[in-house]
Amino acid sequence: MSVKLSTMFKVLAVAGVTTLAGAAFAGEVEVLHWWTSGGEAKSVAELKKMLQAKGHTWKDFAVAGGGGDNAMTVLKSRVVSGNPPAAAQIKGPAIQEWAAEGGVADISAVAKANNWDKVLPPVVASQMKYKGKYVAAPVNVHRVNWLWINKAALDKVGAKAPANWDEFFKLADKFKAAGIIPVAHGGQDWQDFTTFEAVVLGVGGAKFYNQALVKLDQTALKSPTMLKALQTFKKIHTYTDKGAPGRDWNLATAMVIQGKAGMQIMGDWAKGEFQAAGKKPGSDFVCAATPGSANAYTYNVDSFVMFQQKDPANAKAQADLAASILSPEFQQVFNLNKGSIPVRTDAKMDAFDDCAKQSNKDFLATAKNGGLQPSIAHGMAVSPAAAGAIKDAVSNFWNTDSVTPQQAQAQIAQAAMTK
């Protein structure tokens, strides 16, 4: 699409929002997403209902797999064929990369009408913007730095949730002595990476995490703190079982549920597995921030990027979609189903469980004190190219005993320079 044409469509899209707002314009939105399983799908269905109530049609384009990798493949080919969907699930710095390619819609008018700048934490809001204009709407917040512990196992060894990595390994030793696999781990590269990120956050603190894994600062990456984090990370490996590599995260969670394993480092979606098995937070399992990260919070925010629509009615539907996503009602229903928390800082948490309440409290607190950091393992912190290269190095270190922490550190620093 030529520049002139695209700006013309942009004007049209904005015009659609401002002048036609309120008019009964029935449009169609095609939404590309990767939420296909029971709870997730039901959550998105709420959004569809809200749009239908406004008279629009929802065209569902769901493509699961690889945490959105398949969906991204589809999106690329749709954009190349000149036929992008109205909204696509894209998150983190990838939003900026897509916006830079052109063709995304400016939804600042919707954002302004609904006070997004006020209700969203600034870190999140800035990721939704490209050159100061909103191009995406955030849906939810997942906390990644959670440690899940089987309560019965914890009681059996007479311990409490570890507050730092020394306590973590002490607890792990106790589990081992009691014949329980200390750490349930799923050895897929993103899970290795999730563990790594939690260790860096716990060992170095939020500020160091930001320097090393968000800004990709070479001095931080080559610092002794990073080396210590890598040594700690590799030490965790010795507490996992042999069957870990390739295991799905939910099977690892199942090990904790059954008490075969003591604990797991995983984002808050793991809660859904506990609940599906009829377990209650507090009495059956414990959710705690990963060691040393009580005052920090790595977030994984899902969001929808809007693409320019040629038909003004569809642009109107798109604007309504964006507004609905951040409406308090949808935020509540969706996140109750999904296990995450609302992205709005003014959300009411009464209906949520204790883990979600804790998550929300920490979210608000860390948003103020700088502890709120984007998760690199979940594509929130750096470009997909750099994140992928670092993930390769981290996962290779985790799985290969012949790689020393020093070598791994050099490889990670090298990978961080991937453009």
Contact set for other proteins, span 28-57 (CB under 8 A): 30, 33-42, 44-45, 48
φ, ψ of residue 139 to 5 degrees: the values are: -110, -45
Q: Which stretch binds other proteins (CB under 8 A): 8-16, 68-76, 150-158, 369-377?
A: 68-76
Q: Of 5, 8, 66, 166, which lies in the binding site for other proteins, with binding defined by CB under 8 A?
A: 66
Asked whether position 277 contacts other proteins by CB under 8 A, the answer is yes
CA dihedral 157, 160, 163, 166 (to 10 degrees): -20
Q: How far apart are CA 158 and CA 40, in angstroms?
A: 37
Q: How far apart are CA 10 and CA 136, in angstroms?
A: 14
Asked whether position 410 contacts other proteins by CB under 8 A, the answer is no
- If we measure between CA atoms, which residue out of 352, 340, 344, 348 comes closest to residue 327? 344
Nearer to other proteins, 18 or 37 (CB): 37
CA distances from 92 to 140, 330, 377, 378 (A): 13, 21, 11, 9
Query: CB of 279: closest distance to other proteins in angstroms?
Result: 12
Query: CB of 74: closest distance to other proteins in angstroms?
Result: 5
Binding-site string for other proteins from residue 223 to residue 252, where x marks contact by CB under 8 A and - marks none = ------------------xxxxxxxx-x--
By CB under 8 A, the residues from 144 to 203 that bind other proteins are 187-189, 192
Q: Of 77, 126, 219, 406, which lies in the binding site for other proteins, with binding defined by CB under 8 A?
A: 77
Q: How far apart are CA 88 and CA 62, in angstroms?
A: 10
Could you tell me how far CA 252 lies from the centroid of its own chain?
19
Q: Which stretch binds other proteins (CB under 8 A): 66-74, 128-136, 172-180, 366-374?
A: 66-74
Nearer to other proteins, 92 or 162 (CB): 92
Q: How far apart are CA 208 and CA 220, in angstroms?
A: 7
Nearer to other proteins, 113 or 277 (CB): 277
φ, ψ of residue 13 to 5 degrees: the values are: -65, -45
By CB under 8 A, the residues from 308 to 367 that bind other proteins are 338-339
- If we measure between CA atoms, which residue out of 62, 290, 325, 75 comes closest to residue 165? 290
Query: CB of 94: closest distance to other proteins in angstroms?
Result: 7
Query: CB of 191: closest distance to other proteins in angstroms?
Result: 10
Nearer to other proteins, 204 or 374 (CB): 374
φ, ψ of residue 179 to 5 degrees: the values are: 80, 20
Q: Is 259 helix (H, G, I), strand (E, B) or coil?
A: coil
Q: Which stretch binds other proteins (CB under 8 A): 69-77, 121-129, 194-202, 351-359?
A: 69-77
Nearer to other proteins, 205 or 243 (CB): 243
Asked whether position 69 contacts other proteins by CB under 8 A, the answer is yes
User: Do 346 and 364 form a contact (C-beta atoms < 8 A)?
Assistant: no
**The two structure tokens encoding residue 53:** 């109530």
Query: CB of 181: closest distance to other proteins in angstroms?
Result: 9
φ, ψ of residue 62 to 5 degrees: the values are: -100, 130
Asked whether position 98 contacts other proteins by CB under 8 A, the answer is yes
The size of the interface with other proteins (CB under 8 A), counted in residues, is 80
